Structures are given as structure tokens and as C-alpha cells.
Amino acid sequence: MEEIYEAARQAAPSGTDETLLKRLCEIAAAQWEARLKDGVTAEDCRTVFVCAAAWMAVVGIYAQKSVTGWNIESFTVGDVSVKTTGLENTSQMSAPQKLEWQARMLMRPFCRPEGFAFVGVRG
């Protein structure tokens, strides 16, 4: 865990609350571990795992500091609706979004697929 924290500390903005950053590192590591494919451990992909967990912790710091970093395109109050830009177009991403996207791409080979999947559908 210390290795993840040290990597996150180097990437985090100056003045970051160390206690919060350590907690976010623990959470990020636990989230990535939960997503690993069966038979894959954090140790199997240690370098990538440390980097991805550190980056996700830093994303948490930015999210805590500012909602504007998430590229909100529109916001409606009546019947509440918030529209943000998608993660497909990296040119429109904020720095925290790019960091999150990069972490996901790093871990992609080691994690179970996310999002939509056909399960038990016969062709």
C-alpha cells in the first residue's frame, strides 16, 4: 500500500490532504483487486496495478476538489438531469478524466470486462 501512496503523492496536487490520499489509495487498490480476472492477483500485474491505483486515488482528490472537472455539458433542475461528455473522446476530457481513462486502459488486460455483455444469449 505504501508504494501506491508514494506514487499517488507524486501525482497529486500540492497541499493534498495526506490522510485522505492514503484512504483513497486503499479504496482504489480494493476496487482494482475486486475487478481482477479469476486467477489474476495484484502481484501478477504489480507495476501496472500500483500505477492504476495511484492514478485513481488522484482522480478521487480532483473529484473531491471540483465538480467542474467532469465536463458537465448541461444541468437541469426540474426532473433532475445532468449530461456529461463521454469518455470516448479524449480530446474533450479534463485532466482527471484522462487519468482515469489511462488507469482503466492499463488494467484492462488484467480485469474482467466492464459494462455491457451478452450473457446466456443464443445466436
Asked if pLDDT for residue 90 goes beyond 70, the answer is: no
115: left (phi over 0), alpha (psi -120 to 50) or beta: left
d(CA 120, CA 123): 10
The mean pLDDT of the chain is 83
**Where in the chain are the domains?**
2-110
Grid cell at residue 54? 495511484
Q: Measured between alpha carbons, how far is residue 6 from residues 1, 21, 66, 97, 110 in Å?
A: 9, 10, 23, 21, 23
Kindly report the pTM of this predicted structure. 0.71
pLDDT of the residue at 114 = 74
Q: Please, which pLDDT band fits residue 82 given cuts at 50, 70 and 90?
A: low
Q: How far apart are CA 56 and CA 60, in angstroms?
A: 6
The Cα 9–Cα 4 span in angstroms is 9
Q: Average pLDDT of 91-110?
A: 84
In this prediction, residues 86-109 reach a mean pLDDT of 77
What is the SS3 assignment for 107?
Answer: helix
- Going by pLDDT thresholds of 50, 70 and 90, the confidence category of residue 76 is low
Supply the pLDDT for residue 64: 78
| Owner of C-alpha cell 486467477 | 39
Where residue 68 falls among pLDDT bands split at 50, 70, 90?
Answer: very low
Please write the tens of the pLDDT for every residue from 16-42. 999 999 999 999 999 999 999 999 999
